[in-house]
Amino acid sequence: MDNRDDIREFLTSRRARITPQQAGLPVYGTNRRVPGLRREEVALLAGVSIDYYTQLERGRLAGASESVLDAVARALHLDDAERSHLFDLARTANTPARPRRKPAPKVRPGLQRLIDALVDAPAMIRNGRMDLLAANRLGRAMYAPIFQSAGTPNVARFQFLDPAAADFYTDWETAADITVALLRTEAGRDPYDRNLTDLIGELSTRSDAFRTRWAQHNVRIHHTGTKSFHHPAVGDLTLDYESIALSNDHGLNLTVYTATPGSSSADALHLLASWAAPAPAEG
């Protein structure tokens, strides 16, 4: 068990998307049999021999130096997420394969208290395989369709296997692209996590949409942005989010959503908070 197939497919897919013109190379004639750059062109741009680059693209990253990986990343115009992914693939290639099941991560009581204190903003904590491990009251209300699913709430499983996802995500296509890219990034970091590979196998088997996206080898760093939802109780929500890796809790991310003050989404979020509030105790 190794990651050579992932390395080969990632490098090939990145090479195929860059034209010689984009790379600043001269083009002679029109009889090019491959999309994008040829291997020898990438080797030239990276300053390595064609034989050496061919070995890299065949999945043999073990032993590749940081300078070589940097040169390949520049030649292929990799963005920050793709460059990090390439380094993750190289690190894994240098590490013996030890398939294992990770114990279920625990959310510390202090973290739960932290997100519970955010009473006006939906907040949740997830792991790399997109399990929702904790949320505050407003976060559970906002993601109610996911938390209502059986078992551990999982964003990817909901998006690709639950028909309700098409209504919940205003732009389902973009949301699906992001989720798969995040899972592909996590798989590069830890390809031998059996819980993760089981999820990927399940989704690949049961969803053509997931399988097509998985084959594209796109990766993503998910720090900030805007998402739109159609909540079954309060209607449309367009929310900004900040996602933070929890350095003291390896593999966990905190995501907090906010609405632009005075917007219709802010009004809907206030309505959702009222909807989620506990009923007053009868005296």
Q: What does the block give as tokens for 129?
A: 């395989």
The tens digit of pLDDT for each residue in 176-192 reads: 999 999 999 999 998 88
- Cβ-based neighbours of 21, under 8 Å, separated by 6 or more: 27
Residue 258: beta bridge partners? 240
Do 136 and 259 share a domain, yes or no? yes
Residue 99 lies in a domain: no
User: Does position 277 have pLDDT exceeding 70, yes or no?
Assistant: yes
Q: What are phi and psi of 207, to 5 degrees?
A: -135, 115
Angstrom CA distances, 179 to 149, 159, 174, 200, 252, stand at: 18, 9, 9, 12, 15
Span 3-44, pLDDT tens digits: 899 999 999 999 999 988 898 888 766 677 777 999 999 999
Instruction: Tell whether 240 is covered by a domain.
Output: yes
Contact 102, 112 (CB under 8 A): no
Residue 125 predicted with pLDDT over 80: yes
CATH code assigned at 16:
1.10.260
For the segment 203-216, the average pLDDT, to the nearest whole number, is: 97
Distance between CA atoms of 132 and 147, rounded to whole angstroms?
8
Assess if residue 123 is contained within a domain: yes
Confidence of residue 97 (pLDDT cuts 50, 70, 90): low
Q: Domain check: are 57 and 144 in the same one?
A: no
Confidence of residue 282 (pLDDT cuts 50, 70, 90): low
| CATH number of the domain that residue 164 is part of | 3.30.450.180
pLDDT for 95 equals 77
Determine the average pLDDT of the residues in 99-117: 86
Does 84 share its domain with 126? no
Query: Once rounded to an integer, what is the mean pLDDT over residues 62-91?
Result: 95
Please tell me whether residues 88 and 169 are part of one structural domain.
no
Residues 142 and 214 in one domain: yes
Kindly state whether residue 10 falls inside one of the protein's structural domains. Answer: yes
Is residue 248 domain-shared with residue 168, that is, in the same domain?
yes
Q: For residue 280, what pLDDT is reported? A: 58
Query: Are 73 and 10 in the same domain?
Result: yes
| Domain of residue 221, residue span | 109-276
* CA atoms within 13 A of residue 91's CA, in its CB half-sphere: 12
pLDDT > 90: what percent of the chain?
Answer: 76
pTM, rounded to two decimals: 0.90
pLDDT of residue 33: 75
Q: Which of 31-35, 101-105, 192-196, 232-236 is the most confident on average?
A: 232-236
Question: Would you say residue 24 lies in a domain?
Answer: yes
Q: Provide mean pLDDT across the span 259-282.
A: 85
Residue 1 reports pLDDT greater than 70 = no
Q: For position 250, what pLDDT does the model report?
A: 84
* Token duo for residue 97: 């394969």
| Dist CA 60 CA 53 (whole Å) | 9
In a domain, 173, yes or no: yes
Residue that terminates a domain, selected from 45, 63, 93: 93
Residue 64: partners with Cβ closer than 8 Å, 6 or more residues away: 56, 90
Name the pLDDT band for 163 (thresholds 50, 70, 90): very high
* Per-range mean pLDDT, top range of 85-89, 95-99, 193-197, 246-250: 85-89
How many structural domains is the chain composed of?
Answer: 2
Claim to verify: residue 39 and residue 122 sit in the same structural domain: no
Domain finish residue from 93, 117, 150: 93
Q: Report yes or no: 167 and 237 within 8 Å, Cβ to Cβ.
A: no
Mean pLDDT of the chain: 91
Residue 51 in any domain: the answer is yes
> Rounded mean pLDDT of 121-132?
96
Residues 11 and 144 reside in one and the same domain: no
Confidence class for position 279, pLDDT limits 50, 70, 90? low
Average pLDDT of 96-110? 77
Buried b (16+ CB within 10 A) or exposed e, 233-253: ebeebbbebebeeeeebebbb
Asked if residue 226 is part of any domain, the answer here is yes
One domain, residues 70 and 116: no
